[in-house]
Amino acid sequence: MILTSYPDPQDMARLSARMLLEVGAVHFNADEPFTLASGLPSPTYVDCRKLISYPRIRTTLMDFLTVTVMRNVGFEAFDNVAGGETAGIPFGALVAERMALPMTYVRKKPKGYGRNARIEGVMTEGQRVLLVEDMTTDGGSKLSFVDAIRDTGAICGHTAVIFYYDIFPQTKKTLGDHGVALHHLCTWWDVLAEAKAQQAFDEATLTEVESFLNAPKEWQDAHRSG
């Protein structure tokens, strides 16, 4: 059953942030920063993979993500849902089920044997494909997945994620220049607001996180090791 009656985007963002905090998917540590995939330091880290282990939260978030895409793009806008390897695969499957659409997934690189494919499942020329992922930081990793989808002759102009950093100004431009629109449930700003409301972290940590979110490059430059 495809449900369409849900809270407004602001309430969904607040509730999504609350759920991430509730399951311990949000980590703040200003004293010993995390190292991002880029090699840069960050006082924040979010692990959306944990969400698959919580059925009630998983169900609610996937309902939210599905209705967000339908509201933003349309109810008959897609023919296929693709999850990005690996974190996007379960979420892609759950969204595809809700949208009553075929599900596929996209490998990060060809598997190196057999068909040497990047697309698993059935994706055909002309299909309108929604790319589903757990999160995005600067949008760069999505471009390879989009290109792999387009290489099949399918169309991919939208990606949906649970979590969007929303602190790097070039993200939406990077995706937009590639012809891709981003849809998301919540951002670091939503998480910070909910963390403050819940007093989930001490005041000094929240202040340092806010400093990072307001000027990430400057904060990273000041906290580089060596």
Q: DSSP string covering 157-169, please?
A: EEEEEEEE----T
Residues of the chain with pLDDT under 70: 1-5, 112-116, 225-226
d(CA 38, CA 40): 5
For tokens 């649970």, the residue is 162
Tokens of 84: 């990005």
Every domain of the chain and the residues it spans: 10-210
CATH of range 10-210; options 3.40.50.2020, 3.20.20.70, 3.40.50.1860, 3.10.20.440: 3.40.50.2020
CB 180 within 8 A of CB 157: yes
Q: Quick one: which H or E segment has residue 11?
A: helix 9-22
> In sequence order, which residues have a C-beta less than 8 Å from that of residue 6 and are 6 or more positions away?
12, 63, 64, 67
Q: What is the pLDDT of residue 115?
A: 66
CB 92 within 8 A of CB 77: no
Kindly report whether the global pTM for this prediction surpasses the value 0.85: yes
* β-pair type (128-136, 119-120): unpaired
Nearest-5° Cα angle at 166, 161 to 169: 125
Q: What is the pLDDT of residue 226?
A: 53
Q: What is the pLDDT of residue 224?
A: 81
Q: Which residues pair with 155 in a beta bridge?
A: 128
Determine the longest span between alpha carbons in the chain, in angstroms. 55
Q: What is the pLDDT of residue 37?
A: 72
Tokens of 41: 């330091």
Predicted confidence (pLDDT) per residue in 2-24, tens digit: 666 688 999 999 999 999 999 99
d(CA 23, CA 163): 15
Rounded to 10°, the helix 9-22/188-198 angle is 70
Tokens of 3: 């449900």
d(CA 53, CA 22): 13
